[in-house]
Structure 1
């Protein structure tokens, strides 16, 4: 298995890059971040209908294109690079993967093509977004599928057209569908430091859900690996953009009659940042290739998420510092990247939680041996 992009994948990456360079400019990001829904429906329709991006990684038999984590990673890196504002991660990635992994055959046949086509913007509701072992503590379902509980953070919860909810049943975990307009559903928009990714609080009070499938413990961990690697791809895309923009800034900012980028201390700092990025990129790409090859329960997804999170945060801090006073201003775009990096750092598990899971996997492997 060769962990490099093929010629077709490189061409695909160029097409995706051109699209987001056109439709996810920084003025557009700022404008959308100040709206309630946080995305442009016209751009969403174009990336869904013209490019077919939401179905890239989903099975062909359910309306997707049948590609894998590598192609999905290409899309997410470009989205991260341009700070794309939209429900792709919540709908296509989290909800799409959840339905593909946990939905029964009838549910996948009926529901998955709509997510793959982008005609239904769904979001996955997990009552804990830090660790799979904690899912199902706050939202319960009785034998009739009636849901009660609270999810403190739901990505794009205010604009979603459907909720896919993982809830605790008497005999385990189940996946349920719920409409935002169903009785017993209360959606409260939440303030987030990351204005580019909208969140909401979901409160359920005897809300009637439609059961779509069962969620096993092992399946939940494997699903967590998929979405963690996807998020890592988005983060390294953002980190790469920050590094590129920061280096360009140091070339054009003059002090003492010369570009500040010519000073040795700044050269070394940028070189260290590049090394951090390359390590995180290698870990993320390797994790994606392992998932594409069908390898299960490895340390690589957690390693990728931890390294990408550390890299993105370090890059955001350095970008502000190397810009000097301008880096702290509202007019400079760097604070938007810093806020995205901070939220992504803890989403799906902070680096220390990812490393703890790596240790658990290694310990289990040692015990078996």
Structure 2
């Protein structure tokens, strides 16, 4: 049975945040994350199904009629923020993005399976902006032939969603990863907590859901929004961990956190967090308005992606020698932030699009900017 999530106001949202945090502390603490990494990066424990049954994460964006919570994106953002702060292993982010698209396009069986914790989704994010050309074999099926899709979380997924286009329409192809026409090979990744695979699809016939005008764009923007939630969660956790350590550690007869140079660097991380939260709140406020949504998530990602890298870099250095050891978790957060920075659309493309939408001149090759 899937957990029911009911959010009526800020108090409920804060209570849900605490519930997710408590669940992760009990079911997927950082010691568990280390064990998953040592076992190859795929979590084979019951964390996934427990998350569906106890706190209903996977079904947050799925309508109640299909077994989900029917919650707005802001609730999913809270969950992803906590999952990111805990470095939880599992395809939660692509599953939430995919569940939103599948439910909106009438894929009731797939949506219900996701809400129940019985299906995991991987998403080829690159194809949301650059769909792969396919041949339509009917109103709701395509033949997909792709040699080298690079997909995060695909090693642990049951369903792979790929943006596709034909002469008549664009949309999503729904591919079963256990299909004989699908081959997945693990790739090395800087992020030890989010495995990446190369997917080869050899003329697979797959169900197809047509983009009615906003399917692919909304999925891409939702991915950017939720990834920012994760990045903000990482900044928050790094700051909290560093402050706790520096208030305990002594150097030259003083608490290490009392030195002005240390305080300034912690303040920089905090300012980045505050700015990121403000941009995130704005993106949430306009998310259901497509004309403003992409602009808002572009601005959000342009800031938060490098901010998370800066926070994890500075945070690691502030820990001194212990931060550079394999045993400390600082490098895991640094790795996640680095991988997140390049997981979706190139930040320079976002900056160019954002500048264009504001009527600003964007430099091109050869310009003296």
Equivalent of residue 134 in structure 2, options 140, 157, 170: 140
Separation of aligned partners in 2, 1:193 and 1:319 = 18
Separation (CA, whole Å) in 1 of partners of 2:229 and 2:167:
36
Change (3 A) 1:37 1:264: closer
Match of 1:28 in 2: 32
- 8 Å contact from structure 2 (residues 52, 117) kept in 1: yes
Q: 2:17 aligns with which of 13, 23, 28?
A: 13
Instruction: Return the alpha-carbon distance in structure 1 between the equivalents of residues 202 and 154 of structure 2.
Output: 17
Aligned counterpart, 1:66: 70
Q: Report the CA distance between 1:37 and its aligned residue.
A: 5.2
Give, in whole Å, the separation in 2 of the partners of 1:76 and 1:133: 23
Distance in 1 between the 2:282 and 2:82 partners? 18
Number of the residue aligned with 1:42: 46
Query: Which residue, 182, 187, 197 being the options, matches 2:184?
Result: 187
Change (3 A) 1:60 1:357: farther
Q: Is the Cα contact below 8 Å between 2:184 and 2:199 reproduced in 1? A: yes
Structure 1 position 34, deviation (Å): 2.5
Q: Deviations over 1:62-101 (max 9, x none)?
A: 332111111111101111111111121122x232123234
Superposed CA deviations along residues 281-300 of structure 1, whole A, max 9, x for unmatched, are 11112211221x54543421
| Whole-Å separation in 1 of the counterparts to 2:357 and 2:350 | 11
Residue 118 of structure 1 corresponds to which residue in structure 2? 117
Equivalent pair of 2:29/2:86 in contact (CA under 8 Å): yes
Query: 2:166 maps to what in 1?
Result: 169
Name whichever of 44-53 and 218-227 sits farther off: 218-227
What corresponds to 1:94 in structure 2? 97
C-alpha displacement at 1:363, in angstroms?
3.7
Deviation at 1:218, TM superposition (A): 4.6
Q: What is the number of residues matched between the two proteins?
A: 349
* Matching of residue 300 in structure 1 with residue 296 in structure 2: yes
**Of 329, 342, 351, which aligns to 2:325?**
329
How many angstroms does 1:309 deviate by?
Answer: 1.0
TM-score by length of 2: 0.88
Counterparts in 2 of 1:359 and 1:221: CA distance versus 1, 3 Å: farther
1:81 counterpart (70, 79, 85) = 85
Give 1:308 deviation, angstroms. Answer: 1.7
CA distance in 2, matches of 1:254, 1:309: 32
Distance, in Å, in 2 between the alignment partners of 1:343 and 1:47 is 24
Task: Name the counterpart of 1:204.
Answer: 201
Say yes or no: does 1:56 pair with 2:29.
no
In 2, are the aligned partners of 1:146 and 1:206 still within 8 Å (CA)?
yes
Indicate whether 1:150 and 2:154 are aligned. no
Unaligned runs of 5+ in 2: 1-8, 361-369
Deviation larger for 337-346 or 220-229: 220-229
Give distance in 2, aligned partners of 1:110 and 1:290. Answer: 30
* 1:25 Cα deviation after fit: 1.5
What is the CA deviation profile of residues 190-216 of structure 1, one whole-angstrom value per residue up to 9, with x for unaligned ones?
Answer: 1111010011111111112122x1136
* 1:162-211 CA-partner distances (Å, limit 9, x unpaired): 22222232323232222223232111111111010011111111112122
Aligned-pair distance for 1:148? 0.3
**Deviation of residue 16 (structure 1)?**
1.2
- Give CA deviations for 1:117-139 in whole Å, capped at 9, x if unaligned: 2211122234x26xx43232xx6
CA separation in 2, counterparts of 1:174 and 1:67?
Answer: 24
Q: TM-score if structure 1 supplies the norm length? A: 0.88
Q: Distance in 1 between matches of 2:354 and 2:266?
A: 29
Distance (whole Å) between structure 2 residues aligned to residue 287 and residue 358 of structure 1: 14
Moved more, 145-154 or 355-364: 355-364
Provide the C-alpha distance between the structure 2 equivalents of 1:221 and 1:90, rounded to a whole number of angstroms: 15
1:352 to 329, 348, 354: 348
Q: Alignment partner for residue 240 of structure 1, among 236, 241, 250?
A: 236
**Map 1:210-221 → 2, pairs under 5 A:** 210-211=207-208, 213-215=209-211, 218-221=214-217
- SS for the counterpart of 2:162 is strand
State the distance in 2 between where 1:168 and 1:35 align: 38
